[in-house]
Amino acid sequence: MLCRTIKSLASYFEVSIDTLLQDTDTPPWVYSHLIKDMPLPCFGREWELQQFHTVLNQAIKHVALQTIYLQGMTGAGKTALLNTFIAQLRAANQSSLYFLCPTHSLKNQGGSAIASLVRALLSISKDTSYAAIESKVNTVATGPLSILRLYQWLGIALNEHQSQALDVLCAVRQQQLDAQLIQQLLRYIAHKGIVSMVIDDAHNLTAKELYFVSQLAQSDCPQPMLLIISAQQKRFFVQPPSWLTRAHSIAVKPLDKQSMHQLANYILRSQGVLVASQQRRAIAAIERAEGNPSFLKQLLCDDYPPTEVPDTLQLLARSSLNNMPCDVAKTLKFAASLGQYFDTQQLQSFNEYHEIRAPLCVLHKMLCSGLIRQNEDRFSFVHPLIQEALKSLVHETEFSWYISGSFGHIQGKTEQVTRI
């Protein structure tokens, strides 16, 4: 009864439970029960949220599509930030559409991300009848070719004659058709009252799927709409794609110490423990997390010794290596064994010792993994805990040849590693 009353009051005053219970002596078990099903709060992101609202207001004022490119490493809090923004719009009676791009394994189970996204735009579920789908397609698309293309985007099979009608189009005509259909889609969802569309984890998309998203971002449709594309700096987003040059770019930076302390207290209280009794543990976790909210949660949710890597991070490192070609995985483990930073000369030593045939390709794939970044001829892991997690998978004597210097007699057999 007490918990229900507190939740009702928080909802009525449109504040978080944290704000409502601030400076109160709420028992830890009550607090943990109140927030057990709630998403991680978005501390320290006031500036980013203000930017979202500013760009949305510009879109509404100028009746034009505005795009934001939100970038940040894994665990930086991009999704929490987006969910907070969507919740704020909902509180203001404004509708949003949120789409999480599936990973490769989930995509194999559910088909193309384009089909899933277009179905979300048209509010089509697996229970929607074909007659209802046909009605929506005819409402959105104008002209026979647009109708066929929309069916194709929805993942609905076309017959031979219908497919041929699209296949004979030249590249320029197809781009014109796609741009026209994108405008019709945006006009439809704007008519439905949607003011913001979010595409999260866009780094999971294939080149073909990104073409569709690029058409959305570059549309000159006169609709008051905010499009937010969120991605890690990996795969096709190691550098911002050229089609995002007109977008407002926002980098999700590490949280400041004050926000990390707020978040640590929230996490500890959600576990039903007294914050005062865990201060030493919290301070150690904040230092290791270095501004990453997800890593902080992992460090605090598991009672690890200060020097160990949480299981979740080890799983991330292991799955990343398993999904890489053998040469790339070995090179990445070697780099992790060197420490947080490494350079081209050290990579060259590895390439010579193991006779890596295409070192530039290996380096490119390492950068596309989103686990390392480059600054001139030096490299670093995106976060010290990522380096620790990868290093924990290295066998004790795996790179003893480098430590002992037994590679010194090898002359350059392979292409020199240079800046990409």
Q: In this model, does residue 410 exceed pLDDT 50?
A: no
Domain locations in the chain? Answer: 1-38, 46-251, 256-308, 314-404
Burial class (CB within 10 angstroms; exposed 0-12, middle 13-18, buried 19+) of 340: middle
pLDDT > 70? residue 7: no
What is the model's pLDDT at position 273?
80
Do the Cβ atoms of 163 and 125 come closer than 8 Å?
Answer: no
Q: Look at the block and give the residue holding tokens 């700096």.
A: 233
pLDDT of residue 146: 95
Give 156-204 pLDDT, tens digit per residue. 999 999 999 999 999 999 999 999 999 999 999 999 999 999 999 999 9
User: In this predicted structure, what is the pLDDT of residue 306?
Assistant: 63
Q: Encode pLDDT of 15-66 as tens digits.
A: 556 555 655 666 665 555 555 555 567 899 999 999 999 999 999 999 999 9
- Considering only residues 40 and 140, tell me which one the structure prediction assigns the higher pLDDT: 140
DSSP state of 244: G
Pairing of strands 65-71, 225-231: parallel
Stretch among 267-276, 339-348, 401-410 having the lowest mean pLDDT: 401-410
Q: What is the pLDDT of residue 221?
A: 84
Length of the chain: 420
Q: What is the mean pLDDT of residues 358-376?
A: 93
Q: Which residues contact 194 (CB under 8 A, 6 or more apart)?
A: 95, 96, 97, 225
Please determine, for residue 280, whether its predicted confidence score (pLDDT) is greater than 80.
yes
Query: Residue 288 — pLDDT band, cuts 50, 70, 90?
Result: very high
Fold classification of 46-251 (topology level): Rossmann fold (3.40.50)
CATH topology of domain 314-404: Arc Repressor Mutant, subunit A (1.10.10)
80-108 pLDDT tens trace: 999 999 999 998 999 999 999 988 755 55
